[in-house]
Amino acid sequence: MNQEILLDVRDLHVEFRTRDGVARAVNGVNLRLHPGETLAVLGESGCGKSVTAQAIMGILDTPPAHITGGQVLYRGVDLLQLPERERRKVRANRIAMIFQDALSALNPVYTVGFQLAELFRVHRGTSRGEAKRRAVELLDQVRIPDARRRVNDYPHQFSGGMRQRVMIAMALALDPEVLIADEPTTALDVTVQAQIMNLLADLQRQRTMGLMLITHDMGVVADVADRIAVMYAGRVVEEAPVYDIYGRPAHAYTKALLESIPRLDHKGRQLNVIQGLPPALTDVPRGCSFHPRCAYAREICRHEEPPVYQIAPQRIASCHFVREVLGV
């Protein structure tokens, strides 16, 4: 793996100031992304994975969201300190993002060709004709059949999978080095999901792009990720290469999560259940935020926030009982 660091998120804090109180959605997240690598950010709803992505992209709604600390370094430059004009350039050219719901991410009153061509015209100053030609080329690259004709269609004329392809085309139009994909296949059927994940993997390989895949689907992650960061209640609780996490999880939450999913390849017995619910972000438990649901929890977990242990060169876990969870 290339050791150059494309994106370096350091100690990021985001809070939402609402009438019901302050929700600490992201509580000191550290993430690194290398060229050509796929980093999966895995977690359940409300764990802060999407907010982290939006903070990196600079598309959080402020208010209610406020970035209260940390840095987002892209090739050493802190994006959070850049003026909006500069930030916009980075957003289109360097870091792009795709979303779960392509229908609401695309503008319904313009053809997809217009929306794709607009990117070239605004950011590259390309002529109309040339921009249109490149739009067709892009649709072709994301394997939309009959691209020359479909370029004049509106988003609603495409199926779910095809719309997702259009959005990928749009994200990749200006050759970004980083692609953030927020649940890109969650709304799609499995056969279409397989097509889209294959497409993403191919495009990533061709461009040695860094891919940050935000998802809750442990099947998809096992198929495509190089490294995984598991998030819970606004923190990264474990980070490791994909084989290590599935083989020997080091955090009690990761372990419990893996034991709670049914498998396709054997019938299995009763599922292991994680009791209770993820915490409300306005009221995250003291100590380890997972302790009320944890099978390993003891007195110390209630009072002391677990430190981040480096358990192997590329592995960290934030659990008081790492050794016990690992079974060493």
Partner 1 sequence: MSDLVLETRGLVKHFPITRGIVFRSKVGAVRAVDGVDLQLRRGETLGIVGESGCGKSTLAKLLVGLEKPTHGEIRVHGDDVTRLSGTAWRRTRRTIQMVMQDPYTSLNPRMTVGDIIGEPYDIHPDAVPHTGQVRAVQELLDLVGLNPDHINRYPHQFSGGQRQRIGIARALALRPEIIVCDEPVSALDVSIQAQVINLLEGLQRQLGLAYIFIAHDLSVVRHISDRVAVMYLGKIVETGHQAAIYEQPTHPYTQALLSAVPVPDPRLRGRREQIVLTGEVPSPADPPSGCRFRTRCWKAQPGCAEHEPLLEIRQRSSHPSACHFAEPHNVMRRF
- Output 62 or 272, the one with its CB closest to partner 1: 272
31 close to 236: Cβ distance less than 8 angstroms: yes
Minimum distance, C-beta of residue 263 to partner 1, in the bound complex (Å): 6
Q: Is 22 in the site for partner 1 (CB under 8 A)?
A: no
Q: Where are the beta strands (DSSP E) in 43-94?
A: 65-74, 77-78
Q: Is 156 in the site for partner 1 (CB under 8 A)?
A: no
Helix (H/G/I), strand (E/B), else coil: 252: helix
Residues ≥6 apart with Cβ < 8 Å to 145: none
Backbone dihedral region for residue 28 (phi beyond 0: left; psi -120 to 50: alpha; all else: beta)? left
- Output 295 or 300, the one with its CB closest to partner 1: 295
Minimum distance, C-beta of residue 36 to partner 1, in the bound complex (Å): 17
84 close to 24: Cβ distance less than 8 angstroms: no
- Output 70 or 184, the one with its CB closest to partner 1: 184
How far is the C-alpha of 285 from the C-alpha of 281, rounded, in Å? 9
Q: Which residue of 61, 76, 156, 191 would you call a contact of partner 1, by CB under 8 A?
A: 191
- Output 27 or 38, the one with its CB closest to partner 1: 38
Only one of the segments 114-122, 124-132, 206-214, 217-225 lies at the binding site for partner 1 (rule: CB under 8 A); that segment is 217-225
How far is the C-alpha of 118 from the C-alpha of 120, rounded, in Å? 5
Q: Is 309 in the site for partner 1 (CB under 8 A)?
A: no
Minimum distance, C-beta of residue 132 to partner 1, in the bound complex (Å): 25
Q: Is 159 in the site for partner 1 (CB under 8 A)?
A: yes
- Output 137 or 217, the one with its CB closest to partner 1: 217
How far is the C-alpha of 289 from the C-alpha of 140, rounded, in Å? 47
238 close to 251: Cβ distance less than 8 angstroms: yes
Q: Is 242 in the site for partner 1 (CB under 8 A)?
A: yes
Q: Is 258 in the site for partner 1 (CB under 8 A)?
A: yes
How far is the C-alpha of 99 from the C-alpha of 168, rounded, in Å? 9
The 261-300 site mask, x for binding partner 1 (CB under 8 A), equals xxxxx-xx-xxxxxx-xx--------------x-------
Q: Is 260 in the site for partner 1 (CB under 8 A)?
A: yes
Q: Residue 203's closest CA among 168, 159, 170? A: 168
- Output 70 or 155, the one with its CB closest to partner 1: 155
R_g (Cα) of the chain, nearest Å: 21
Only one of the segments 26-34, 186-194, 296-304, 307-315 lies at the binding site for partner 1 (rule: CB under 8 A); that segment is 186-194
Q: Is 85 in the site for partner 1 (CB under 8 A)?
A: no
Backbone dihedral region for residue 160 (phi beyond 0: left; psi -120 to 50: alpha; all else: beta)? alpha
The site for partner 1 (CB under 8 A) is made up of 44-45, 159, 161-162, 189-195, 197-198, 216-223, 225, 242-243, 246-247, 256-258, 260-265, 267-268, 270-275, 277-278, 293
